[in-house]
Structure 1
Amino acid sequence: MTVRKFHHRYTPSGQGTDGQDPITLTTTDIGEAAIREIVQISLTSAPFGVVLEQLLVPGDTWFRWIAQLGQIRETRTALSGLFGSFVARAYLTRYCGFQYFEPIRADLQALTAWPHYTVHK
């Protein structure tokens, strides 16, 4: 497990971290977020964290890929979206205390875990 740094900007301001200084996330944080995102339950992130470590520049404290992910534009776009989602989930879990995530698929949707709450897209 290594600690990696990210530059970020969070909107609306005043929530989460302020975006002035780099934030840190470990590859374990991101691995756990990835596993939860993929399978929607809490499992160990060990296999994914090991794979993630191998894709990042060794010894660098910044989150930098060794090389681009994939050769085809569609592959790079898909993997970038997935990893972006994993990092966002790790950030929201660690810095904002979020524990529950659910995809918003409709303009007006009841939440599965709390059916008496609805969200507007």
Structure 2
Amino acid sequence: MASGNAIRGSRVGAGPMGEAERGESAPRVFVSFWCVNKHETKPSFASDAQIPDTWDCPRCGFPAGPDKDNPPARSRTEPYKTHLAYVRERRSAEDGDQILAEALAKLRGQI
């Protein structure tokens, strides 16, 4: 006996004729972008779309540009900072000792 699920094996949006019912796709243009590692990527854009100046390389993640001989430089990424690192930027060790002493005095006075 059949399971009763009529859409098994098809994807959402697919009609009885598949993609043919959807009509013609927009005219496309392929643009080459190169990164500093000489990787080439060719994303497609609608022919009337504005082409971006840079594109992220899918292989290494560095920015890529349309000029093969002069690709964009690698972007400098800042390391992840913890909350404590941000606090240490704003406060000195002496400030921390003073705040800790005030907090301990306040707690001892409440007990």
Q: TM-score range by the shorter chain?
A: under 0.3
Greater Rg by CA: 2
Q: Given the two structures, how large is their TM-score scaled by the length of structure 2?
A: 0.21
